[in-house]
Amino acid sequence: MKKLIALTSVLSTALFAGHVSAANLNEIYQLSLNNDAELAAAKAKRDSGNYNVDLARAALLPQVTLGADQASTEVESDAGDSNFDTFSYNATITQTLFNLNSWYNYQAASAGGNASELEYMLSEQQLILRSAEAYFNVLRAKENLETAQAEEKAVKRQLEQTQQRFEVGLIAITEVHEAEASYDLSYANLIGQEAALDISYEALEQITGQRFESLAPLKNDIEFSAPEKAVSQWVEAGLAKYAGIQLAQEGVNAAEYTRKAGWSNYAPQINAQFSYTDGDQVNGATTIDSTRTTLAFSARIPLFAGGSNYARAKQAAAESTQASANLDLQQRTVKNNIRSLYRKVQTDVLTVKARKRATVSSRSALEATETGYQVGTRNIVEVLNAQRNLFSAQRDYANARYDYIIDLMNLKFFAGSLGEPDIQALNAWLN
């Protein structure tokens, strides 16, 4: 109900307010829950896996059949001709008493059902990650575009001033060429950043199914901090909680049961069958009513099936080995990813602080260079380089902040702790 109310609020904002107010991360995530195609496909796959369990269980449960027969028979013989009609109703119940193959196939299907549930859980966590990445990629592209616009405007103004100084004979034509080249580069960068912003909005629309014109920006006064727990604790949590590893473990379980099912094709199979038939035979004016009750047991041992049973058993054994190797790969990958992301988050914290200081020093350097240019101690190339350094520092600072957020979310994802509360926490960082 809470999700429905949140979704209604989002839709009201989208339809009636026309996106006048900027959407925040929580609104984007709620829309993604209801519109993302990947999550919908994972849900359908989970439901399909549950039905596979029912199908496998059916081989172990009673099979009940009801039938009715009607026949007309005409007999010609030397003793004379005769005609009679037969009517019968029957019910048959068949129950498997012993069938290792069906039992192991059911266990394999159950493991597969668990895997489908885990795969859906993994898709839910991936949606949280994809929603956050899409949202902050838009903010990243927007800030980069604003920096590119400011750079293009500043370089264009510098070009105009340089042309004016050349026209009155204060500088050489080479300085004009330098300013023109710098402007061309800034303009080309501006075009690229405009395209990047459009592409990031398209990625957001793919997840939410809606187009947004503005998003709530990231606050400027956020204090980024390094992970408090040791990296070994993050690794331990990932090995225990990461849905990808649990999914691989269920794959091992399913493959092991399938391997046992393959070899159990050689085991005896015992069935019981109970049938009841009630019939009438009409011959002229004579009617014969009869009933028949049968209880039968059957046992069979498959000895040879053209080599198919042996081939299935060997194939299942190879698949079991493959599943075990896949589990080992998942565990190694998670360890590597957590350790790498843990180190990146630690580095991101320091990088954000360093980039912020770099913007301050670059601005001071630009002001000093512009002053020197006005009095003739600096040339246009030095001014343009100082401008470029300032705008580059601003871009690097913005990118460092978003790198920290995305790396932290990925770290929590592989540690198996990423959830909706993380969306709420990030939403508090927005204006």
pLDDT tens sequence across 183-213: 999 999 999 999 999 999 999 999 999 999 8
Instruction: Decide: 387 and 154 in contact? Cβ < 8 Å.
Output: yes
Q: Whole domain around residue 29: which residue ranges? A: 2-427
* pLDDT the model gives residue 286: 73
What is the pLDDT, as a whole number, of residue 3? 44
What are the counts of helices (DSSP H) followed by strands (DSSP E) for the chain?
10, 4
Residue 268 CA: distances (Å) to CA of 100, 261, 350: 8, 13, 68
C-alpha span between 88 and 168 (Å, rounded): 117
pLDDT score, position 21: 66
Instruction: Count how many domains the chain has.
Output: 1
Q: DSSP letter at 358? A: H
List the Cα angle 235/120/258 in 5-degree steps: 85
Supply the pLDDT for residue 285.
67
Provide the CATH number for the domain around residue 154. 1.20.1600.10
| 381 in Cβ contact with 162 (< 8 Å) | no
pLDDT digits (tens, 9 = 90+) for 96-113: 999 998 999 889 888 888
Instruction: Tell me what pLDDT residue 4 has.
Output: 40
pLDDT averaged per 10 residues in sequence order, the chain, 431 residues: 42 41 91 93 90 88 92 77 84 92 89 88 95 96 95 91 88 90 93 95 94 92 92 96 93 89 87 91 76 92 82 87 94 97 97 96 94 88 90 95 97 95 95 88
